[in-house]
């Protein structure tokens, strides 16, 4: 069952990421601003090191398995068709514990792209409405994510109670930016339980891996 839910969450991810790009891009176009690629993004683009900013199976506790590469490739292809500069797509499932972790990282090459991304994250109500859109949720209002301080340059997220075929689950969505990397993280688990690997840890690990890219660490 969790694999079926995982594929459904992939569809949600496509909608969320695509909508966020759609929301931010028109503002740039209307402003008529000529975007300049920052020196930092040029250096990192040449090195191709943002591909290393991802979550790995060895980062997780026992019980998780990686989603098939073919499914991840389909998701990346679908996102790329929406003109999103996708660097990585990762997803892991813990079948017995009923937890799913999925993330998408994208390249924000210019200062203007980064600024528009940040502006959306700093509008909690707009972000809540965007992330909750098209979800089969319950009557429980979405809540802001806690414990996401000091993640990235800017971060925001929501926690929602959702109905998964008469199974109540908790869906947490974290969106963050660190330097020229934007990331979308989804964690799903049974409502009322504690996740094996909290969403804040995923965000902090991605943050750390961006720092490793900058310093050349492994």
Looking at 89-161, list the stretches that DSSP marks H as alpha helix, in order from N- to C-terminal side.
111-121, 124-132
Q: What is the mean pLDDT of residues 66-92?
A: 79
Distance, CA of 169 to CA of 98 (rounded, Å): 9
pLDDT digits (tens, 9 = 90+) for 105-121: 888 888 888 888 888 78
pLDDT digits (tens, 9 = 90+) for 176-216: 999 988 898 989 888 999 999 999 999 999 999 998 876 55
Distance, CA of 97 to CA of 113 (rounded, Å): 38
Q: Quote the crossing angle between the two packed helices 199-215 and 39-47, to the nearest 10°.
A: 90
pLDDT score, position 204: 95
pLDDT score, position 217: 55
What's this model's pTM, rounded to 2 decimal places?
A: 0.78
DSSP 151: S
pLDDT score, position 50: 77
pLDDT score, position 139: 64
pLDDT score, position 52: 82
Give counts: helices (H), strands (E), the chain: 6, 7
């Amino acid at each position: 069952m969790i694999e079926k839910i995982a594929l459904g969450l992939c569809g949600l991810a496509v909608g969320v990421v695509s909508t966020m790009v759609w929301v931010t891009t028109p503002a740039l176009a209307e402003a008529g601003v000529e975007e300049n690629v920052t020196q930092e993004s040029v250096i990192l683009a040449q090195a191709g090191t943002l591909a290393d900013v991802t979550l790995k199976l060895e980062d997780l506790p026992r019980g998780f398995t990686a989603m098939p590469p073919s499914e991840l490739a389909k998701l990346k292809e679908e996102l790329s068709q929406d003109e999103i500069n996708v660097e990585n797509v990762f997803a892991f499932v813990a079948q017995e514990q009923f937890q799913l972790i999925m993330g998408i990282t994208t390249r924000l090459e210019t200062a203007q792209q980064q600024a528009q991304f940040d502006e959306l994250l700093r509008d909690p109500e707009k972000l809540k409405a965007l992330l909750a859109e098209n979800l089969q949720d319950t009557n429980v209002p979405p809540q802001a994510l806690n414990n996401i301080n000091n993640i990235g340059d800017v971060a925001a997220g929501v926690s929602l109670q959702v109905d998964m075929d008469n199974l109540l689950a908790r869906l947490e969505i974290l969106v963050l930016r660190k330097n020229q990397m934007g990331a979308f993280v989804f964690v799903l688990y049974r409502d009322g339980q504690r996740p094996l690997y909290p969403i804040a840890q995923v965000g902090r690990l991605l943050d750390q891996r961006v720092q490793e890219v900058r310093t050349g660490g492994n």
